[in-house]
């Protein structure tokens, strides 16, 4: 994009949803309406535990539960989003391909509740970084025909 802009919100997003948005397939997000979301604000979606894997989006539209009570639970909203930076998109999609390989090879998939239950602290970031590192190490060993010597797979 080349332009500089201010990030209004940073939000954790499941890898599959961030990848779909980065690819332009998902042009909305459903969020707890706990922030002042409004058209024109910039949102940075990132993968839990990996704040360096992100994409920035501009909010194009907001639909609240008050406006559409038949379709949204109270306290939630739908935000229309538009990708701001294609370079970020390519990085997110590459990272997601690695995550999919980890999940498929090791039959490992974190549940949605696991992604979002971790507190917003450096300790939580370290936890996720360590978990993915351990899974990546297992894949490395499997590919190279070695028996994984670390903690047993769960």
Q: How confident is the model at residue 100 (pLDDT cuts 50, 70, 90)?
A: confident
**Average pLDDT for the chain:** 79
Distance separating alpha carbons of residues 123 and 141, to the nearest angstrom: 27
Distance separating alpha carbons of residues 16 and 23, to the nearest angstrom: 11
What is the pLDDT, as a whole number, of residue 26? 97
User: 30 in helix, strand or coil?
Assistant: strand
128 φψ region: left (φ > 0), alpha (ψ -120 to 50), beta (else): alpha
Q: What is the mean pLDDT of residues 36-51?
A: 90
Distance separating alpha carbons of residues 92 and 81, to the nearest angstrom: 16
pTM above 0.75, yes or no: no
Percentage above 70 pLDDT, the chain: 66
């Amino acid at each position: 994009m080349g332009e500089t802009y201010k990030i209004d919100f940073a939000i954790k997003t499941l890898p599959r949803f961030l990848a779909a948005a980065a690819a332009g397939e998902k042009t909305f997000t459903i969020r707890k309406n706990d922030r002042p979301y409004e058209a024109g604000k910039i949102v940075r979606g990132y993968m839990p535990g990996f704040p360096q894997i992100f994409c920035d989006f501009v909010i194009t539209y907001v639909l609240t539960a008050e406006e559409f009570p038949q379709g949204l639970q109270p306290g939630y909203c739908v935000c229309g989003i538009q990708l701001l930076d294609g370079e970020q998109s390519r990085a997110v999609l590459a990272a997601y391909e690695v995550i999919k390989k980890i999940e498929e090879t090791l039959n490992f998939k974190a549940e949605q509740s696991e992604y979002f239950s971790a507190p917003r602290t450096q300790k939580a970031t370290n936890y996720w970084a360590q978990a993915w590192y351990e899974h990546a190490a297992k894949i490395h060993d499997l590919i190279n025909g070695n028996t994984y010597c670390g903690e047993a797979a769960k």
